[in-house]
Structure 1
């Protein structure tokens, strides 16, 4: 006859299997687990599920059971299908829920920011990506302190696209010359077509020539341009000068990923060939000396660069066999 100790315990519910802090006591574990189950249910629901007041009440009840720091950690930990609760609030189109949950976080952790970048890419939401400042500090840590020192407002990036495989990104880069003279290398990120792109202005170290370059961030889905991209830089009327036409720069595919095979092993050549089609090669061209000219017509009276990037992607990115 089986004793009570021999009886097989029922399998715990799914939410009880989620990782809990090792150092927490059993009561705190229970609070953490219950809060996580509740938050998961909220962010997993489709848009329109529940009233704002019911969501607010449920989240506040969860937050009341944990210290503020622990509740913040709970929201920023990848504990729901490998992603954070904030990720799912974005992907499931719950903007009010996302905003309310984000209010419990004083500053996003680096891991949470990375997860939010993926969420914005999944939803192709450049507006949220820009508003949360997910493209600046993570890739150019020098730019944010420099902008604060200069009293420089944030850059503006807007994306529009009438076709699935092409887009136009419009840039307003504040204090363009002053920042570029200081760092000699500026980069901004944006989301278009379900990818995370960057636009870079820099001084080529060998040729000592100012260049513009675009490419995909390391955490982006792959893409391949079908033709050269076009960067249009708007001209502005300056004192004692006439309004000029926009400067049009064709950004061409760089050949840096196509070195001579004879200098590489077969395995290296195959790796490069695979890499070339798994991420977009950089697309670049020279800018010219106008970048540093005083009173340049290509920045407005406040020093802002106005530019548009037009790019079309290939519908088929499979390499020839």
Structure 2
């Protein structure tokens, strides 16, 4: 039954697959089987969440019912499951879907301490990516970070991740606490933009 969930979108509707997912969850509960672990096993070399993203409706558009359903049933997520979800979003070049996952409590982007500090279980940042025209394939992204000043004053690093130009980028704000090759002064607020591991090089 689970194999049916990972088939291409054209073979079954989203509603059918979500319904089938719920049936599987009920059967597993009746037989005391951990459905979360089952979903995070590998089907054709990938997790169910990866396939829910990769074989979902094209192009990906909200509300991402199938990905949301598989995500909810897969929690708590293993690091490898989260890595695969990122990889699937990058493959589809979908920042919107990636942001949806990142904003979900199941994805666990915020630490328990940050959740207590912000009073939320999911990151509250708003991020909009724009891919621009030009020979160098530029892009820009706009973002809002609630309580930025408070979080930085408390020495809490803030990390944003975005999908742009078929790659996963990470923007990290932190307080410099030791000398580095950039000659930053101790206590200075610093921003660092980098490509996440396994993203294709330019």
TM-score higher than 0.5 here?
yes
Unaligned runs of 5+ in 2: 58-63, 180-184
Is contact 2:72-2:106 (8 Å) kept? no
Once the two structures are TM-superposed, the CA of residue 66 in structure 1 deviates from its matched residue by: 2.2
Other-structure match for 1:173: 145
1:212 matched to 2:191: yes
Is contact 2:101-2:107 (8 Å) kept? no
Larger % of helix: which? 2
Question: 31, 51, 59: which is aligned to 2:21?
Answer: 59
Distance of 1:190 and 1:101 partners within structure 2: 22
Once the two structures are TM-superposed, the CA of residue 159 in structure 1 deviates from its matched residue by: 0.9
Distance of 2:55 and 2:170 partners within structure 1: 26
Runs of 4+ in 1 over 4 A off after TM superposition: 134-142
The structure with higher relative contact order (CA 8 Å, sep 6+) is 1
Q: What's the CA shift string for 1:268-310, capped at 9, x where partnerless? A: xxxxxxxxxxxxxxxxxxxxxxxxxxxxxxxxxxxxxxxxxxx
Calculate the TM-score normalised by the size of structure 1: 0.49
Once the two structures are TM-superposed, the CA of residue 60 in structure 1 deviates from its matched residue by: 3.7
Other-structure match for 2:40: 76
Distance of 1:82 and 1:187 partners within structure 2: 29
Structural RMSD (CA): 3.1
Once the two structures are TM-superposed, the CA of residue 166 in structure 1 deviates from its matched residue by: 1.9
Q: What's the CA shift string for 1:69-110, capped at 9, x where partnerless? A: 522211111x22221011011012244332333342343222
Once the two structures are TM-superposed, the CA of residue 119 in structure 1 deviates from its matched residue by: 1.2
- Cα distance change, pair 96–222 in 1 and its aligned pair in 2 (3 A): same
- Cα distance change, pair 84–163 in 1 and its aligned pair in 2 (3 A): farther
Once the two structures are TM-superposed, the CA of residue 141 in structure 1 deviates from its matched residue by: 6.0
Calculate the TM-score normalised by the size of structure 2: 0.74
